[in-house]
Amino acid sequence: MDRLVITGGRRLIGQVSVQGAKNAALPAFAASLLTDKPVLLHRIPAISDVTTMTAMITALGKRVEVLGEGTVRIENGDSLQREAPYELVRRMRASFFVIGPLLARLGEAIVPLPGGCTIGSRPVDLHLQGLQRMGAEIEERQGIIHATAQRLQGRSIYLNYPSVGATENLIMAATLAVEETSIRNPAKEPEVLDLIAMLQKMGAQIELCDQEIRVTGVRELTGVEHEIIPDRIEAGTYLLAGGITRGTVEVKGAIANHLTALISKLQEAGVKLQIKDESITAFSEGCSEAVNIVTMPYPGFPTDLQAPMAAFLTLARGTSMINETVFERRFAYVVELVRLGADIQTIGQRINITGVKRLHGTKVRTPDIRAGAALVLAGLAADGETEIEDASQIDRGYTDIVNKLAALGAQIERREEVCR
């Protein structure tokens, strides 16, 4: 079992570069299933979720070659397969992205219901309802979805909630459907727009409107060379690391337009920011002030930064409130922050955080990726030593986090437990 051991109390100072966006890279891999031609992707993050998605599309018949740091080439290998392996889908929810491309290409897809982080049920109902609207027949048996369609038909689809995953899956399916598909109330996160940009380069006919995405199906898509956008969640995590340690951290690759909600809340809390075209620097010297947050679809405050923001607010002056509206079980990390000395009360889908003067290092366990990032932030600011178990969860979303933080002055190391 991997553990991170942090000796806190050091101000972080320096520059850190962000990886390509995890939540843009994973659907880009799935989109490669839509064509027989080569797909060249740049700025792919070296994280375990990408390793899982690589194994997934390889099992489905693709050949993936790593050409250099952050660059992969995806080509045809064996014939495209209809069935996604259970052992891969259960590891990561994003594996379910393959159902749309497989159904569009082959007219059939067999995909187990997905696993991943324990942050709520995150049902795939919207994915399946949209595919049914496009003419797919859906059957579920023992947790496995069997979808068939002679050829998907363009339809008008309204999403009851602007789900990122459902929006991306339906866009990919619609690229090869007959006639036009209209997706109303879609997600418009930067990662969705990045997928659309990639698909347009592949020859997909996609039009963006205010509250609608229109996709006119084509017979086939071609290959593409595409660079993934920077990871706004990683960027936000490092800005918060600068804030919680009262340091000065420049995050290279951070895009301000992707982080408007976080920037607003950091400034409200008293963190000074220097914003440039290709970087954001966080300066923090004194005690931060309490702020209130409600997580919402983009451009609202991102749910993936909710836990790291909570860690930051544990040392703010006053009482902050965070209301989680996206996932119903995203406060599993709270008990771990309380172990470190935080004063947090959970009331349904809301937490109240009363700032304390100090956090104190202890042993904690991370329940999911972003909770792990929150515990790292708390450990950086805590007195003494913090030991974080299940650190492999953090590796699902953050590339080389130990060395990146160490380069900023953190005293952090990874220890592997040896079985005897």
Q: Do 74 and 43 contact (CB within 8 A), yes or no?
A: no
Considering 117, 209, 287, 419, which one is annotated as catalytic?
A: 117
Q: Is 117 a catalytic residue?
A: yes
- Answer positive or negative: Cα dihedral of 120, 190, 237, 57: positive
- What are the φ and ψ backbone dihedral angles of 61, each rounded to 5 degrees? 115, 5
Give me the amino acid identity at 258. Answer: H
Angle at 413 between CA 384 and CA 393, to 5 degrees: 100
Helix (DSSP H) and strand (DSSP E) numbers for the chain: 14, 23
Could you tell me the CA-to-CA distances from 116 to 52, 168, 371 in Å, in that order? 11, 18, 14
Within 10 A of 139 (CB to CB), how many other CB atoms are there? 10
Distance CA 98, CA 135 (A): 18
> Do residues 369 and 397 touch, judged by C-beta distance below 8 A?
yes
Owner of token pair 């009360």: 345
Burial of 242 (0-12, 13-18, 19+ CB in 10 A): buried
DSSP SS3 for 365: strand
Contact at 8 Å (CB) between 355 and 318? yes
CA distance 200 to 401: 33
| Residues taking part in catalysis | 117
